[in-house]
Structure formats: C-alpha cells, structure tokens
Amino acid sequence: MKPSRAEIIKSEAIRLGFSHVGISKAAFLEEEAPRLEQWLSQNMHGKMSYMEKWFDKRLDPRLLVDGAKSVISLLLNYYPEEIQDPTLPKISKYAYGRDYHFVIKEKLKTLMQVITDKIGEVDGRAFVDSAPVLDRAWAKKSGLGWIGKNGNLIHPKNGSFFFIAELIVDLELEEDAPMRDYCGTCTRCIDACPTDAIVSPKVVDGSKCISYFTIELKEAIHHRYESQMDGWAFGCDVCQDVCPWNKFSKPHQEEQFKLIDGLTSLSAKDWDELTDDVFKKVAKESPLLRPGLEKIKNTIRFISHNGEKPA
C-alpha cells in the first residue's frame, strides 16, 4: 500500500537524524492562552522582554504561515555519551557541541526539499526556537510526550534531552493523538531545583532559573542567589538530571553535538585567563557565544566567590 504523506514525512525526518516526529492541526492553542497570559502578567519572563511580543502569533501558527494546516513537530536528541567533569564550571549538555540552531536548520531545509520532491509543492516555514512558536505545546499536541512538572517535554522511551523544532506547512496531514501525563506523584525536579524556580507543577518562574541568570540576564546576578548556583557557568540541567524518565536517555548519534575540545574541560582559572580571540576561535558556532566570554567569566567569578569553587 502506498504510504501516506504523513508517513513519507516521518520516514524522511528519521532518515535525516531526527529522533521522533509528530503532527497536529494548525489551530489556536486554547489551553495555552490563559497560561501564557498569567505567566507574563506575573513577570516570570524576567528581563526577557521579547516574550511579551507577538502574543497572538505564539498561540496561532496560521498567523505565522499563510494557509497553514499542519504543524510537524520534530525532536532531536542531544544527550551526550560523555559527561563533563562536574568539578569544573558546569555547562549545560545542550551546549557541548555546535549550536543546535545551525544543525537543525540544515536538516529542516533538507526535509522541506524532500517533501517538495516526494509530495509536491509545499508552502511553509521552519522554526527552531527563534520565533514566536510554543515548541513544547506543539510537541505535546503532536503526541511526542507530555509536559513534566519541570516544564520540559518528556518522551516515555527517551526522556527529555531533546531539541524541539517545527515545520508549519499548508499540507493537510493525518494528526497524531496526544499522550497522557506519566509524572504521577513524583516531585524530584521541584525538590531539586537549586533556586526554587519551579513554583508549582509545570510552572517555571524564568526569572529565578539558573539558565536565565547565566544566559539571558544582562545585568549582575542578585547576591541572594550566591549560594544557590550549584556551580553552573552556562545553563542548568538539574531538573532533567534528577528526572526518573531520563534513565531512558540514550547517547545521541549527531557528530556536530560532540564535545568541543577546549571548552568543556576548562577550570575556573582557565576561563579567567581565556582571551576573547581564543574564545571566539574555539567557540565558533557554539551556544556559548550567546552570552559571550565576559558574561561567562563574571558568572564563574560569582559562583567561585561563594564556596562553590570549581577547580
């Protein structure tokens, strides 16, 4: 029997290295609207003013892509085979290798071309965490997992160490059904969060999150968090590391996500002595370029000053 258009797309996406693919109808996200409005009204986005923009577009993909009929959600595993030495200034696992924006955009461009070749002319856009799209909401709606109490999408067979991307297209495709929530009574992520940023199940106060402090926040980290940074220099994986579902995480097979030599092995002293020229050369196309060297140095000085002294 001839495969459906949805089956063709899923098969090609897996061939390109994506871990899981799901499809949902492009429509208004009714459940997310009041949640997003409340989250913003309580200033849980901190200084991330861009979150206040394009409210309507975040909730309705048809405002982003004319004629949109389907949202194709894709997951790409980034769980590393080799974990960074925990005595060094900690870097979130997603930043071990090449910036995922570059890696995923290349794959999505190829996938769009394959769809055109095998199905016909398609109008649509690719999104990778850089536009007003509620990635986790669409992944959940597309049957790729449920939203855990830490706010992350959790897949029952592979945990939560995934990048999420979308193709919003004008194709009418067979939808996938959402799955139920399997977190149960577990509260390990809430209990383990160093800064108590998970204020209630599935609600993360971004303005208290270590990832926000070390990447998004332009100003100095407030001294009240001096003893709560847990050694993190860039990002934070605590709420994922303690999640029981991540015992099912499997090492990725993406060469571009492998450890960048000379970055994840640096001590606090090494970071302090690192020059901007060397940093830009070694960190070429790395997520670490986003906050920049001076921000990372200041963060490491901050965490080292308070009894958390990475080697």
Q: Which residues have a Cβ under 8 Å from the Cβ of 33 and sit 6 or more positions away?
A: 59
Whole-angstrom distance, CA of residue 235 vs CA of residue 33: 27
- CB contact at 8 A, 21 and 13: yes
Contacts within 8 Å (CB) and 24+ apart, 209-218: 209/236, 210/235, 210/236, 210/238, 211/92, 211/235, 211/236, 212/46, 212/48, 213/299, 214/291, 214/295, 214/296, 214/299, 215/290, 215/291, 216/46, 216/47, 216/48, 217/46, 217/47, 218/47, 218/295
Q: Is 129 an active-site residue?
A: yes
Give which of 213, 175, 168 is closest to 47, Cα–Cα.
Answer: 213
Backbone angles phi, psi at 156, to 5 degrees: -65, -20
The tokens 């693919």 sit on which residue? 21
Q: In terms of C-beta density within 10 A (0-12 exposed, 13-18 middle, 19 or more buried), how is residue 16 classed? A: middle
Number of other residues whose CB lies within 10 A of the CB of residue 159: 23
Query: For 298, what's the count of Cα atoms within 13 Å in the CB-facing half-sphere?
Result: 15
The tokens of 184 are what?
């149960």
Number of other residues whose CB lies within 10 A of the CB of residue 188: 16
Choosing from 66, 85, 123, 129, the catalytic residue is 129
For the annotated catalytic residues, the residue numbers are 129
